Amino acid sequence: MFDKLDDLVRRFEEIMNELAEPGVTDNQQRFRALMKEQSDLTPLVDAYKEYKKCKQDVEDSLLMLDEESDEDMREMLKEELSSSKKRIEELEQELKILLLPKDPNDDKNVIVEIRAGAGGDEAALFAAEIYRMYVHFAESKRWRVETMEVEEIGIGGMKSVTFMISGQGAYSVMKYESGVHRVQRVPETESGGRIHTSTITVAVMPEAEEVDVQIDEKDIRIDVMRASGNGGQCVNTTDSAVRLTHYPTGIVIYSQTEKSQLQNKEKAFALLRAKLYDIECQKAHDAEAEARRSQIGTGDRSEKIRTYNFPQGRVTDHRINLTLYKLDKIMNGDIQEIIDGCIAADQAAKLAKMNE
């Protein structure tokens, strides 16, 4: 581990020297790549420097203890020694986590697709509530949310909704939300007061750039039409809606949320790229089934990951056996504690696999 850390420190110093050279900004692509690599390495280099300082502090304290006869000074040195040793253990664990292979998609924006499952209108109502939960969560992190596709029902529910969350590291956080979410409650339409169980599915896909996915124009059919449903001025009176059909996969994308046909076309292509890229990512995960099993709920879309029980006011994440009795706060976007638990469990599983 320490040989690798030394190599990374040397690489960090090379980057810093290159960034200090005059004319480094002349090649913007190279400059951006260097800045990103510097940003990725900084936490690791800082932790390793602190680790080496603590190791030196331990050696110094031991030497001084051998030479010191004053009891008060010896007690102070022992306290410093104990503190440094404890910090060394913490930093060793931190360094192991920082050295874990990073998901190449972690820094990307995400496209989230929520679909009502079992439960009819109640599932559609819950889908709309989960959508609002994610919007509130994204806003708390100062991320931007942009709706791409939505199919609403008349009572305020959503059969499906697709939206993009733009923000640094959005995928690294949101990827743990992929799977089946279950709700247990008494629907407003239920006269007998019986608790019903409904489900929705959440798919989280990294945004794909054009360089990530090549789409052959011959594989695409583009249709334009007037938007349907609720619309503002111009939305329902011009041919602004766009439907893309991708022949090889059968994927159909319908975009009508913008007034401009061009904007709807851009959104449709962005969603298509994300879906095609996600298919390739799923294939890669399937090819590495064992590695996929070691991850915490970042792959299997059919996995039931969470239950929202309204009568008891609790939310349970089944992957990490975490139950929280603050359903109201969670439905209002306070999901960071759950995500932190998933990240910690994921890291622990990967560390255990590394140590096998």
Model confidence at 260, pLDDT cuts 50, 70, 90, reads confident
Q: Where are the domains of the chain?
A: 2-98, 110-207+293-352, 217-283
- Which one-letter amino acid corresponds to residue 126? F
Please state which CATH class domain 217-283 belongs to: alpha beta
**Residue 254 pLDDT > 50, yes or no?**
yes
Percent of the chain with pLDDT over 90: 26
**Tens of pLDDT, residues 264-275:** 888 888 888 888
Statement: residue 138 has pLDDT above 50: yes
Average pLDDT, the chain: 83
Cβ contact 297:291 at 8 Å: no
| Two domains, one topology: 2-98 and 110-207+293-352 | no
Name the CATH architecture for the domain at 110-207+293-352.
Answer: 2-Layer Sandwich (3.30)
| DSSP state at residue 101 | P
- Cβ atoms within 10 Å, residue 235: 20
Of the options 1.20.58, 3.30.2010, 3.30.450, 1.10.3470, the CATH number for the domain spanning 2-98: 1.20.58
Q: What is the mean pLDDT of residues 314-341?
A: 94
pLDDT bracket for residue 294 (50, 70, 90): very low
Pairing of strands 179-185, 158-166: unpaired
Which element (helix H / strand E) includes 7?
Answer: helix 2-19
For residue 332, is pLDDT > 80?
Answer: yes
Q: pLDDT tens digits, residue range 99-111?
A: 887 878 888 899 9
What is d(CA 242, CA 254) in angstroms, rounded to the nearest whole number?
Answer: 6
pLDDT value of position 191: 63
Give the pLDDT band of residue 297 (cuts 50, 70, 90): very low
Cα–Cα distance between 184 and 316 in angstroms, integer? 11
Tell me what the mean pLDDT of segment 159-168 comes to: 90
pLDDT bucket at 313, cuts 50 / 70 / 90: very high
Q: Give, to the nearest 10 degrees, the angle between helix 28-67 and helix 71-98.
A: 150
The alpha-carbon radius of gyration of the chain (Å, integer) is: 26
Question: What's the predicted TM-score (pTM) here?
Answer: 0.73
